[in-house]
Amino acid sequence: MIPFFFFLFGIVIGSFLNVCITRIPAGVSIISPASRCPRCQSPIKPYDNIPVFSWLLLGGKCRNCHEPISPMYPAIEFLTGFLFVLTYYEFGITLLTFKWLFFSCLLLILIVTDLRVRLLPDAVNWFGFGLGLAFSSKIPPNSFSADYFPVYSRYYHLSPMLAGILDALLGAAFGSFLLWGAAKLYRLIRKREGMGMGDIKMMAMIGVFFGVRGAFLTILIGTFLGSVIGLATVVILFLAGWHRSLAERAARRGLGELNALRWFLASQYQFPLGTFLGVAALLVVYLAPWLVDRLLFR
């Protein structure tokens, strides 16, 4: 029954995450007003606001205006419930479980917000940074299990609490400055911005939870995912004829060869690096312990 209750609690939290995803970028309070239809703005009745199930029962439409409601809402709710259950199976009922539940919820907000509006809100990043510091005083960031990793052995003159906080700050500094350096290098080579400060702040938040090792893995996996998916997206956009009419007009004016112009336009598509970093961080949380167990006890 415990996984079932974790799932139920997770989809309820997922409903709140939907509120954060839609309201925080718009600068609207996440407390009031109550949930409303995004189309007609009519208040949603409590019996129509049951996570996942109400959307299914209403056929994905508003009861009042009958306009479609985005499937993003039940998808986020279900995914949050799934992550809650996965966290329980991975870490049991421990303080570490609560740490990764909070972290995963923050990441979901950032992942979807960056994907939707290319924005990583400071309100989420800085709240997560403070929360990560608080957790690091009890659970050293480099630990992926419920056992306290003896990270403080490197700082023998410090208490475990201060050593954990120091590791968190080092992880934040390493992750954010590494990404900042990559952004400066990209601008030097390509003569244009490659990422915003939101990505760097997000990496500082991730580093506080992970420490140096986890921050490095997140950047490594995130940039790999971004490169592979980014290249695939550019190829798909090129083959699909994205902005073809614009390229044809430019070619008629002698600005270049048609296919070269089409490739250039496709390559200008803006990719949400924060989304890839967030997905990578989730993989580090949930896949890394599984891989370590398999490699050590195969």
Tell me: the pLDDT tens digits for 186-219?
777 766 666 778 899 999 999 999 988 899 999 9
Asked if residue 125 is part of any domain, the answer here is no
Residue 127 inside a domain? The answer is no
SS (H, E, C) the chain: CHHHHHHHHHHHHHHHHHHHHHHCCCCCCCCCCCCECCCCCCECCHHHCCCCHHHHHCCCECCCCCCECCCHHHHHHHHHHHHHHHHHHHHCCCHHHHHHHHHHHHHHHHHHHHHHHCCCCHHHHHHHHHHHHHHHCCCCCCCCCCCCCCHHHHHCCCCHHHHHHHHHHHHHHHHHHHHHHHHHHHHHHHCCCCCCHHHHHHHHHHHHHHHHHHHHHHHHHHHHHHHHHHHHHHHHHHHCCCCHHHHHHHHHCCCCCHHHHHHHHHHCCCCCHHHHHHHHHHHHHHCHHHHHHHHHCC
Query: By residue range, what is the domain housing residue 159?
Result: 141-298
Summarize pLDDT for 223-239 with one digit per residue, the tens: 999 889 989 999 999 89
164 assigned to some structural domain:
yes
Q: Is residue 77 part of a domain?
A: no
* Domain-located, residue 167: yes
Domains in the chain: how many in total? 1
Question: Does residue 152 carry a pLDDT above 60?
Answer: no
Residues 74-126 have pLDDT tens digits of 999 999 999 999 999 988 999 999 999 999 999 999 999 999 999 999 999 99
In a domain, 111, yes or no: no
Is 160 part of any domain?
Answer: yes
In a domain, 133, yes or no: no
